[in-house]
Structure 1
Amino acid sequence: MATASTTREEKRPGSFYALSAFFALFVVFLYGPVVTILILSFQGPSGGLTFPMNGVSLYWFERLWSGRGTVDIGSAFQRSLILGLTVMVLTVVISVLAGLAFRKKFFGSTALFYVAIASLIVPSIVVSLGIALEFRILDDILRPLLYQIGLLSRRGNSLGLFTSGLGAHLSWTLPFGLLIMFAVFNRLNKSYEEAARDLGASNWQSFRHVVLPMIAPFLIGIALFGFTLSWDEIARSSQTMGSTNTLPLELAALTTTVTTPEIYALGTSVTAVSFTVIFGTLAAFVLLQRRRQRRALAD
C-alpha cells in the first residue's frame, strides 16, 4: 500500500511536461544563436556565414587578432576592457558610499533616489543623445574661455572614452548598484556594528571588519553587473564615444560590412571575455570563502 501511494504521489501531471518542454524551447531560443555563432566561428578559410561548415580551423581568430582583419581588434578590445574595469570599480565604490549615506534620512533623499534611478526607464539612445548634447553645449561655452586664458592648448571637443563615454555607462550601471545596496543595507542588522563600537572599534574598523564581510557577496554581484553591462553596451555608447569605438560598436559596424566568419570570431571573443570575468570572479569568491572557513576552523 505504501509503495502504491508513493507511486501515485510521484506521478507528475501532464502540465509539468508541457511546461518543461516550453522551458526547454526557451533555453534553445535564448542560447541557440550563441552556440550557432560559436560553431560557425571555427570554419576554415573558405567558410561562409551559414551552415554547412566548410572545414574546421582557427583561421578567422588568427586573422582577427593578427590585425589583418577589417577591425583593429587589439585597440578596441583594450579600450573596452579598460572602460569596463573602470566602470566596475566606480560602480562598486559609489554604490557602497550611496548605500551608507541613505541609511539615514536627509533632506531631499527621496527625490535624489528617484533621480538616480530615472535613467533605467529612459530609452538608452535618448540618454546617449542627451549626454552627447550636454558635452557639446559645455564645449561651446567653456572650451573657448579655457582656450583664451591658456588652459587648453587647442580647440576640440570633450566627447571621449573617459568623459562622456564613462558617464553614459555609469548612468546604466549605477542604478542597479544603488538598488542592490539600498536593499542590502535596509536588511542589515545594525546591532553588529553597535557591538563592535561597544568593544572600542572606530567607525572605519566597524565597517572594515563587520559590515564589509557581510556585504562582500553583494559587492561581487554589483561588480559583475558593472563590468558586463559596460562591456557589451551599444546604445548608450553610440553617441558618446567621440572618435573612438568600443568593441561592441565595432561589432555592430561589422554587421553591415563583413560577409565572412570574421564577425563570428569577434562575437565569440566578446562572449568569451564576459564568461571568463563572470566565472573567474565567482571562482575567486568561492576560494576566498573556503580560505575564510579554514581560518575560522583553525582559530
Structure 2
Amino acid sequence: MREGRPAIFYWLALFFAAYVLFLYGPMIAIFVLSFQGPEGGLTFPLNGLSLHWFSDLIAGGGIVDIGGAFRRSLVLGLTVMLATIVISVLAGLAYRKKFFGQTILFYVAVASLIVPSIVTSLGIALEFRFLDDAVKAYGPAWLSEGYTTAMGLFTSGLGAHLTWTLPFGLLIMFAIFNRFDKRLEEAARDLGATPWQTFRHVVGPIILPSLIGIGLFGFTLSWDEIARSSQAIGELNTLPLELKALTTTVTTPEIYALGTLTTGVSFLVITLSLGLFTWLRARRMRHGSNAGSGLV
C-alpha cells in the first residue's frame, strides 16, 4: 500500500514556498506595477494597463539621462566582462606552476571579497585624489594645465568593478585548472603542437564553458553594482546609481519601468549564456559521438 507523506514534508514545502515568495515577490510586484496606465501610482491596485511608462522612459527628457546611463553601464559591463575573462585565464595558467609570492598574491587578489564595498570605493577614490594632487603639483605644464581628474568610467570605475568580479573569476579558473588533465596537453605537444596551438585546440575548447560562466559573473556583477561605484565612478553615473537617485525624486511608475528594463537585460544575458553553454555541450557530445563512430 502507498504510504502518505509525513507532516514535516508539508511544513518544509510551506516554508520553501514562503521563501520563494519573499525572494521573488518584490521583483514580480515591480514588474506588474511597471505596466500601469498613465494615471497609475506606486502601489496596488493597478490603474489601467499599458506601456505608457516604458515609452516615457525611452523618450527621455526626465530628471536624468537614462539612455546615456544605460549605454555607459552596458559598455562598462562588457569591458569588465572581457577584462575578467582575460585576467582570470592568464592567472589560472600562471598558478599552474610554483612561483615566488604566489600565496600572498592570491590572498591580496581575493581580499576584496571580505572588505566592505563602500570602503573599497572610498579607498580607490582617495588614491585617485592623491594622483590628481600629484599631477597638479608636480606634473609637467602641458599635463597639469587644465587638468581636472583621472577618475572616470574606464579608470577608477573599471578598477572598482574589477575588485568585485576578478576574485570570482580567479576562484573559478583555479578550480578548473586544479582538476585539468595535463596528459591532454602532453599528447598535443608530443604530436608537435606549439604552446599556442595546444591552448587554442586543446585547453581552450575544454575550459570554454567555464569562460562563459566567468563572463556571466563579470557582466552581471558590474551591471548592478552600486556600492563600489558610488565614490569611484567619476562625474558620470552608471544606471544603478541613477536608479538609486531616482528613488528619492520620482513618484511615478517610471522607476518601476526602469527596474523592469534593467532586470530584463540581466535575464537576457543569463539566457544567452545558458543557451551558448547548452549549444557548446551539445556540439561536444555530437563531435564525440562522430569520433566514436569513426573508430568502429
Q: What TM-score comes out, normalization by structure 1 length?
A: 0.93
Q: For 1:71 and 1:54, locate their aligned partners in 2 and report how far apart those are by CA, in whole Å.
A: 26
Q: Deviations over 1:194-234 (max 9, x none)?
A: 11111111111111111111111111110000000000000
Matched, 1:87 2:74: no
Partner of 2:45: 52
Query: What amino acid sits opposite 2:164 in the alignment?
Result: W
Point out the more displaced range, 288-297 or 113-122: 288-297
Equivalent position SS for 1:235: coil
Equivalent position SS for 1:249: helix
- The one of 29, 34, 37 equivalent to 1:41 is 34
Partner of 2:16: 23
Partner of 1:163: 155
Matched, 1:278 2:270: yes
Equivalent position SS for 1:237: coil
Equivalent position SS for 1:233: coil
Partner of 2:103: 110
Q: Deviations over 1:228-286 (max 9, x none)?
A: 00000000000011110000000000011111001000000100000001101211232
Q: For 1:39 and 1:100, locate their aligned partners in 2 and report how far apart those are by CA, in whole Å.
A: 47
After TM superposition, the structure 1 = structure 2 runs for residues 186-201 of structure 1, keeping only pairs within 5 Å, are: 186-201=178-193
Partner of 2:59: 66
Q: For 2:27 and 2:157, locate their aligned partners in 1 and report how far apart those are by CA, in whole Å.
A: 27
Tell me, yes or no, if the aligned pair for 1:69 and 1:262 is still in contact at 8 Å: no
After TM superposition, the structure 1 = structure 2 runs for residues 133-282 of structure 1, keeping only pairs within 5 Å, are: 133-148=126-141, 150-151=142-143, 154-282=146-274
Tell me by how many angstroms 1:287 deviates: 2.5
Point out the more displaced range, 70-79 or 31-40: 70-79
What stretches of structure 1 of length at least 5 have no aligned partner? none
Q: For 2:165 and 2:76, locate their aligned partners in 1 and report how far apart those are by CA, in whole Å.
A: 12
What stretches of structure 2 of length at least 5 have no aligned partner? 292-296
Query: What amino acid sits opposite 2:109 in the alignment?
Result: A
Tell me by how many angstroms 1:290 deviates: 3.0
Tell me, yes or no, if the aligned pair for 2:31 and 2:260 is still in contact at 8 Å: yes
Equivalent position SS for 2:228: helix
Query: What amino acid sits opposite 2:29 in the alignment?
Result: T
Query: What amino acid sits opposite 2:121 in the alignment?
Result: S
Q: Deviations over 1:53-96 (max 9, x none)?
A: 11000000000110133321110000000000000000000000
Distance 1:147 1:61, change over 3 A: farther
Partner of 1:121: 114
Tell me, yes or no, if the aligned pair for 1:144 and 1:155 is still in contact at 8 Å: no
Equivalent position SS for 2:139: helix
Q: Deviations over 1:158-217 (max 9, x none)?
A: 111000000000000000000111111111111111111111111111111111111111
Q: For 1:240 and 1:13, locate their aligned partners in 2 and report how far apart those are by CA, in whole Å.
A: 54
